[in-house]
Amino acid sequence: MASFVLPHALHGRGAHKVIAVHGWFADRSAFDPVLPDLDQGAFQFALVDLRGYGEARGAAGAYTSGEGAADVLALADRLGWDRFSVVGHSMGASVVQRVLAAAGHRVRRLVGISPVPASGLPLAPQQWELFSSAAHTPENRRAIIDLTTGGRRPAAWLDRMVRRSLECSDPKAFRSWLDSWSGETFRAEVEGSAVPALAVTGALDPALTAELTRATWMRWYVNSQLVELRSAGHYAMDETPLELIRAVEDFLRADGNGDGDGDGDGPEAG
């Protein structure tokens, strides 16, 4: 397993290097909706497939955030990126926070999109049944996507998201990743980090809310910011791609000024 290289695609030629990690329901194609409008002159993005997803669908592994972080760092070494920013969606935010815990000196900026906190996300028994059986039950995947986008999205979009999820994920890995992102706690390893950290949440997502983020992310990261997208749920890349790009790129561009604060009308500061 030491020789495993995360499948990835590079976009852009900018000096600011960024590694982006997908969430539980998708491979790196999760970022397809934002690709056409990224600033590929200022940034270079490496979009990865975690073990069990996409081109790594058949890859053996433990399917944990710690293993994912080690894979991300190994890829950064392979690319020759000594320092870089990290972006993670949902489960992927757990992975990139593990990157910070393992090698904080290498992380320029940290971004979580609907981020699972470093304390995990314990699920009530009924929720656990819904989530844990989703590996083999497409209807449950659809119910989860519908729930976390406020019940407002078209049926055809929900169906397409389920099809993508089924096509790009290995059921065993999908199920194993749930144990990691929901149940593992590594708060003590990141609490107090001064690396600038942005959380982007969607107002239509009833699970990974701005309130939860204020109680976790915003308390643990010294230089933290929060942007809540009013028209997004859990999948901001699909739901509000332009608003997401603006929030993330504005934050990444602020690298070097210390606190990354804007003009006072944008993100909350921690």
Identify which of 61, 66, 63, 58 has the alpha carbon closest to the alpha carbon of residue 24. Answer: 63
From residue 116, give the alpha-carbon distance in Å to each of 24, 61, 94, 153, 166.
Answer: 11, 21, 6, 22, 22
User: Contact at 8 Å (CB) between 8 and 46?
Assistant: yes
pLDDT digits (tens, 9 = 90+) for 141-167: 999 999 999 999 999 999 999 999 999
User: Contact at 8 Å (CB) between 239 and 231?
Assistant: yes
199: tokens are 């959380």
Grouping H, G, I as helix, E, B as strand and the rest as coil, residue 113 is strand
Residue type, 187: R
Region for 90 from its dihedrals, namely left if φ exceeds 0, alpha if ψ lies in -120 to 50, beta otherwise: left
Give the pairing type, strands 8-11 and 43-48.
antiparallel
The C-alpha atoms of residue 257 and residue 51 are separated, in whole angstroms, by 36
Region for 115 from its dihedrals, namely left if φ exceeds 0, alpha if ψ lies in -120 to 50, beta otherwise: beta
DSSP string, 18-36: EEEE--TT--GGGGGGGGG
Which residues in the chain land under pLDDT 50? 1, 257-266
Q: What is the pLDDT of residue 256?
A: 58
User: Which residue's entry shows tokens 């989530």?
Assistant: 131
User: Which residue's entry shows tokens 């915003």?
Assistant: 218
Identify which of 91, 148, 131, 147 has the alpha carbon closest to the alpha carbon of residue 115. Answer: 91
> Is the four-CA dihedral 76, 251, 29, 164 of positive or negative sign?
positive
Q: What is the pLDDT of residue 117?
A: 98
40: tokens are 């590929």
E strand or H helix that includes residue 67: helix 65-79
pLDDT digits (tens, 9 = 90+) for 11-62: 999 999 999 999 999 999 999 999 999 999 999 999 999 999 999 999 999 9
E strand or H helix that includes residue 112: strand 107-113
179: tokens are 């144990």
Q: What is the pLDDT of residue 269?
A: 61
Grouping H, G, I as helix, E, B as strand and the rest as coil, residue 224 is strand
Q: What is the pLDDT of residue 158?
A: 98
User: Please, where are the H alpha helices in 118-215?
Assistant: 125-132, 138-147, 155-168, 171-183, 187-190, 210-215
In the chain, the N- to C-terminal Cα span, in Å, equals 39
